[in-house]
Chain A
Amino acid sequence: MTHPDGWSRTLSVEALARVEGEGAMTVRVHEGQVTDVQLRIYEPPRFFEALLRGRDWTEPPDITARICGICPIAYQMSACQALEDACGATIDEPLQALRRLLYCGEWISSHVLHVYLLHAPDFLGYDSAIEMARDHRAVVERGLRLREAGTDLLTLIGGRESHPVNVRVGGFYRTPTRRELHTLRGQLERARDDALETVRWTAGFDFPDFTQDVVMVALSEPDRYAIERGRLVSTAGLDIPVAEFSNHVTERHAPHSNALHAELDGGTTFAVGPLARFALNYDRLSPVAREAAEAAGVGPDCRNPFQSIVVRSVETLYAIDEALRLLDDYERPSRPFVPIEPRAATGHGCTEAPRGILYHRYTIAADGLLTDAVIVPPTSQNQRSIEEDLADFVQARVTLPDDELQWACEQAIRNYDPCISCATHFLDLTVERS
């Protein structure tokens, strides 16, 4: 690897703290001007990168899944890719397809959780989905049914929806039979209709007039919507293999946060997640997803973070459509996993977690034990973008009373789906007016 100037100095900020979790926000306003916005992540650190040192090279998929109970598949997939890269292994295409199918299950369950249970109540003026269900029972039930299409897919392939047990470096412990998988077909077909309805429903919400001009980064593949692999591309022209991630993205430790802040190419703020994927890969959506997006009025030029709820709904539809395609093409792979021998090397992995790219890097020693681990989750990559969003957003609404401003800010933060615990009303907003 070649490094730009100053790389080694930045690399000493070698880590992630907590990914998702508890946070608070402080906005400072001085004489009508927003002077400072801080998203503080005070989720206690759990030291994953430290505790991975000395562990066996086969262990990161199970261990790193525990970073996030909402998107464990993303952690397992990035970990497997990095370790397989280190060992120089190539995974059979049918096993790759099964991984993509499993990942579709996580996109469906995570996106629907966020759209229906966390974000929609903001737009409709409820404190929670439970309250929303009193007035909109059929809608909430549609959401629960839709989410179940994702969790049932996760459970069938992975064993359970949270921290699935069936993923290993090289592939799976046991692959499902075609007959087993096809028990999900009818449910997925109904879910496709529910997802279409979801796109129409969210497209009808009122969106604050707000756009943000920010560099967007996502994985990209030439012939399909990137999920479990791809090259890293940006709206500013970046186009690199995953192995060059840390040459371009650096992390900085701010005093107010237990998460590290990421910057692109020497200080540029960037955003990852559904809007970034849309901006960079829109033309590779399936026809049904693209038609739904067009009807809903969201396209690759969408820069309003509040519309991310519509984009997430379109991606849900895509994930269901893609799952159906993969299911139809599925033949049980000839072997459940590719046998791999560890070797002394460093490997990189990056996949599209529901909330944006998730990067892993591992160094394996000759004895098969890990000597180094680096994990850069989407939330830390988005943190600066969220803060800048908030500064602009608050500035335009600085005369609002505190409670209205707080509601708007919470909604703005949830645009990024930072994760369930921080995404939901974690916000302990302090507005200091002087």
Chain B
Amino acid sequence: MSVTAERPTLAVWKFASCDGCQLEVLSLADRLLTLTERIDVAFFLEASGSRAEGPYDLSLVEGSVTTPDDARRIREIRAQSKTLVTIGACATSGGIQALRNFADIDAFTSIVYARPDYIDTLAKSTGIADHVTVDFELRGCPISITQLTEVVTAFLDGRRPSVAPSSVCGECKRRGTVCVMVAHGTPCLGPITQAGCGALCPAYDRGCYGCFGPAETANAASLMDWWGDVLGVDAGSRVRMLRTFNANAPEFRDESRRQDEQVDHDTP
């Protein structure tokens, strides 16, 4: 691909992940072939075999850091990137693979592999911001294409992305969805989860499972107490609900530890 000086360059990087967020980037390029008229795709292995050298104006990073080599690689990428944006729950909080952070990594390795000695892995899965400075974090498992479009457009226009840190509850209200927790007693993480998905799960008659991570000023302790006292959700389930795709996000992680201490009391 020819690189002209006027157009900013885009690089997309992958760490431990499912590729789902990169797929959203690809969909973005899909739907807007015109996007490639405003930005040069310099490095995006999922889409192209051509690899332009850095530095890059905008780097989008998918995935979490789980190996010593990746911890080194992200520092190189940071050095090559003027603006670095993380995309998705893995890059932002460590992803589902951060469940290892609550377990013994050697036991994990030997459950999966016959020859654990072939495997090189870190004991914890961590988000990108634990390793380098991040300019903006885009949430979601996977990210929302609407928010991704906003982030890329804001970058091209030289402004801060407008992405609300408020909770899913506001989106349910705007969508006109009846509250599944109040009306049906369905446990829902919506009150403490950041908006962005469009309040998808309640619209499909299920509770939010927190794939966009904690909302700003989330009061996880209060919601968990309410789940236990009013909805009768046992402590083990409360821990599991907090420990999914954003298990290592501080607000979810700390509350899940507090709930974990109650598991023994809860067992009949």
Q: Which residues of A contact B (CB under 8 A)?
A: 12-17, 20-22, 43-51, 53, 55-56, 59, 62-63, 66-70, 72, 113, 117, 127-131, 133, 137, 140-141, 144, 147, 151, 159-163, 165-166, 168, 173-174, 252-253, 255, 258, 260, 336, 410, 419-421, 424-426
Contacts and interface: CB of A to CB of B under 8 A. Distances in A.
Chain A CB within 10 Å — which of B15, B19, B24, B66 has the most?
B19
B23 A45 contact: no
A66 B47 contact: no
B46 to A, nearest CB: 5
Interface in B19-48: 19-24, 26-27, 29-31, 33, 36, 41, 45-48
Q: Which 7 pairs across A and B sit closest by C-beta, in order of nearness?
A: A69-B20, A128-B48, A425-B49, A50-B108, A50-B111, A15-B112, A13-B114
Interface string B119-158: 1010001000000000000000110000000000000000
Given A255-B115, A255-B118, A165 B201 contact: yes
A420 B22 contact: yes
A424 B47 contact: yes
A365 to B, nearest CB: 13
A130 B97 contact: no
Given A45-B121, A47-B109, A421-B45, 20 more contacts: A44-B15, A44-B67, A44-B121, A47-B99, A48-B112, A50-B103, A51-B100, A66-B18, A66-B96, A70-B23, A117-B26, A130-B36, A144-B31, A151-B27, A162-B23, A255-B115, A258-B119, A336-B205, A421-B19, A425-B48
Interface string B161-197: 0000000000000000000000000000000000001
Nearest to B14: A421
A20 B36 contact: no
Nearest to A15: B112
30 contacts: A15-B111, A17-B119, A21-B14, A45-B109, A45-B113, A46-B16, A47-B97, A47-B108, A48-B96, A51-B96, A51-B97, A51-B99, A68-B18, A69-B23, A72-B18, A113-B26, A117-B47, A127-B1, A130-B1, A147-B30, A160-B197, A162-B23, A163-B142, A165-B201, A165-B204, A173-B205, A252-B114, A424-B46, A424-B48, A425-B45
B50 to A, nearest CB: 4
Chain A CB within 10 Å — which of B31, B70, B205 has the most?
B205
Given A47-B97, A425-B45, A20 B111 contact: no
B245 interface: yes
Contacts of A161: 27
Contact of A44 (B21, B70, B108): B70
Interface residues of B, number: 62
A23 to B, nearest CB: 11
A140 B21 CA distance: 22
Contacts of A159: 200-201, 203-204
Contacts of B22: 69, 420-421
A111 to B, nearest CB: 14
B13 to A, nearest CB: 11
Contact of A128 (B1, B97, B108, B201): B1
Chain B CB within 10 Å — which of A15, A130, A410 has the most?
A130
A69 B19 contact: yes
A337 to B, nearest CB: 10
A360 to B, nearest CB: 15
Contacts of A130: 1, 29, 33, 36, 41, 47-48
A173 B206 contact: yes
A25 B168 CA distance: 45
Contact of B48 (A55, A67, A131): A131
B172 to A, nearest CB: 14
Contact of B211 (A129, A147, A163, A426): A163
A238 B41 CA distance: 47
Contacts of A47: 97, 99-100, 108-109, 111-112
Interface string B68-97: 001000000000000000000000000111
A433 B91 CA distance: 39
Contacts of B219: none
